[in-house]
Amino acid sequence: MTGPISRIGNVFAVVLLGLAVSACGYNTIPTQEEQAKAKWADVQNNYQRRADLIPNLVATVQGYAKQEKDVLTAVVEARAKATQVKIDASQLTDPEKLKQFQDAQNQLSGALGRLLAVSERYPELKSNQNFLALQSQLEGTENRIAVARRDYIESVRVYNTTLKTFPGLLWASTLFRSNKPMAEFAAGETAQTPPQVKF
């Protein structure tokens, strides 16, 4: 009789152990890591959307402001550099890689701001429907980028906090030793300076 009771006891112990493990936060670290990676994918998606809009914007401005070649060239070069600097989810724990990505995107933002400022000197450009539509899409994309970055920052904050606090700290120091804190976005050097772009 001890055989069936022993087996029932073992099954019961396994079920209890499973419930204890699931309730104690074992799944928290991988879940939060995947959420942060998904938020990063959203950031990249929005930066890609911006990069896709730029050639049309440059072509529209070029038609009206041929003498602004240096500004147009700067935008095209900044876009090329920004699309070359890539960071995938496996590199999110490397602050230097994230900084390189941010710097390239900030250069593109600056060049784009100068391009949009050119429209002030060309009233016929400011009233062009293509330019207005592209400008509106670009403004919407910049807003999406800001929201996506904010969501990523919050997701990384939650993940990094879990790695450093109880009970996540126990799991991070035992079964998830390879999990490192993820790098966060940092404000650019010019973030405190208000933009001078006028529409």
- Higher pLDDT among residues 5 and 123, named by residue: 123
Mean pLDDT score of the chain: 87
CA–CA separation, 36 vs 157, rounded Å?
Answer: 9
Question: Which pLDDT does position 3 carry in this prediction?
Answer: 65
Tens digits of residue pLDDT in 174-197: 999 999 999 988 776 665 555 454
Mean pLDDT of 111-125: 88
Q: Is the pLDDT of residue 10 over 70?
A: yes
Q: State whether residue 137 is helix, strand or coil.
A: helix
pLDDT in tens, 19-74: 565 556 788 999 999 999 999 999 999 999 999 999 999 999 988 888 888 999 99
CA 177 to chain centre: 25
Q: Decide if pLDDT at 140 tops 70.
A: yes
For 75-86, what is the mean pLDDT?
94
Q: What is the pLDDT of residue 199?
A: 39
Count the residues in the chain: 199
DSSP class of 112: H
Instruction: State both tokens at 12.
Output: 């019961």
193 secondary structure, DSSP code: S
pTM of the model: 0.80
For residues 28 and 40, what is the distance between their CA atoms, to the nearest angstrom? 18
- Does residue 96 carry a pLDDT above 80? yes
CA distance 186 to 59: 32
